[in-house]
Structure 1
């Protein structure tokens, strides 16, 4: 989580972990949070149905960390509470989710601002690209295995 001349952002914007993996956010500058887009946080649900929610609270000290485990396969969108209106959002991909059955990748919530909706559209495009690339690699690998038998 950082503030630069170009604005506030999560770096990287999209991360991929295996089911049961953890993500550790580090506040590098300014005051930021990592907060799941989830009804428990008064937001529309942009995480898997069974997923545990999280909210780090605002982290103001540099190098403060927040860690969260991801036990449910899927795509999770999250945001920074103080900077969401400026588009400070990110995504976590967990496991090998089917992009066609994920709440985060469905129609964007109308209650989000235009800036946030644009950022979520960009994140969704990136997530779909990562998942497509991974599936293509698996298909090629599967086809190679078929030829070896």
Structure 2
């Protein structure tokens, strides 16, 4: 099935922005709104800067969601994640910003973000955050997954 959607970046020469930019994100309509299913993204080349030292922090960012009506276009997601490159943010801030931005963009049924950051100073930090539509089974799912994360 061929979809004609006027994307800003898909199918065009890639221009990278290394300062945080929510507006890089684009969506398209979920063609399978009649069922629940998972969409999972893994970005093993995520980079941000320590807000104190300015040193680079590297991570694999994993994003998984159950769509409602909108889907995120993958190239726009890649460019959005790359836009964190010159931003100073603690690991926990990064995953929470990504979660909040994707909730605003997609209004998903369920969403989770995991940051698997490489060790610096002998310690790795792996923040996890999630969301489910309030007062639904997806909120219950979010609570369950949060309470049982890494058990």
Bigger proportion of residues as strand: 2
Q: Do these two structures clear the TM 0.5 threshold for a shared fold by scoring above it?
A: no
Q: TM-score, normalised by structure 1?
A: 0.34
TM-score by length of structure 2 reads 0.34
Query: Which structure's residues are more often helix, by fraction?
Result: 1
